[in-house]
Amino acid sequence: MNGTTIQVTIKGVYLIEKTPGPVPIVLLEDESKRMMPIYIGISEAISINSALKHEIPPRPMTHDLFISLLSRLGSTIDDILIDELNEGVYYARMSVAMDGKRFELDARPSDCIAIALRCSAPIHIRESVLSEAVISKEELQNVIPLESYISG
């Protein structure tokens, strides 16, 4: 993994107004309080929001199933790296350890985040990606928490 990487936390899942309607985003934040949005699908938004709230569904959802499978296979997730932004599309890699070996899986950042939250794996972003995608607090004035949208 070349280049400087920075650990981030998930600030939350929000909706941002776009045409024709609100779009879910997951908001990532580094220790310097720089924030970066990633546009995601509604299913991933609900999954990430549930993981942030430590909710356990009555039946396993897709990301829960993935964690169960890894656990049964004796695997762990070492970390997540969001390492590329190309034409508005983010790319991520999930680092998995199994039988003393480590390998990486290409995955969507939204899936990586939903899984990382469930197994407390650190989330990193390449500095160049964060610098390119960082937004100001003013750009977030009209976002609403996903929670208020789905419960209201």
Determine the Cα–Cα distance for residues 45 and 34; give it in Å rounded to an integer: 21
DSSP, res 136 = -
Contact 25, 107 (CB under 8 A): no
Read off the pLDDT of residues 44-54 as tens digits, 9 standing for 90 and up: 999 999 999 99
CA pair distance 134, 131, nearest whole angstrom: 6
pTM for the predicted model, two decimal places: 0.93
Q: What is the pLDDT of residues 57-92, one digit of tens each?
A: 899 999 999 999 999 999 999 999 999 999 999 999
Residue 108 identity: R
Q: Which residues form the domain of 93?
A: 5-151
The total number of structural domains in the chain stands at 1
Output 92 or 20, whichever has higher pLDDT.
92
CATH number at residue 130: 3.10.690.10
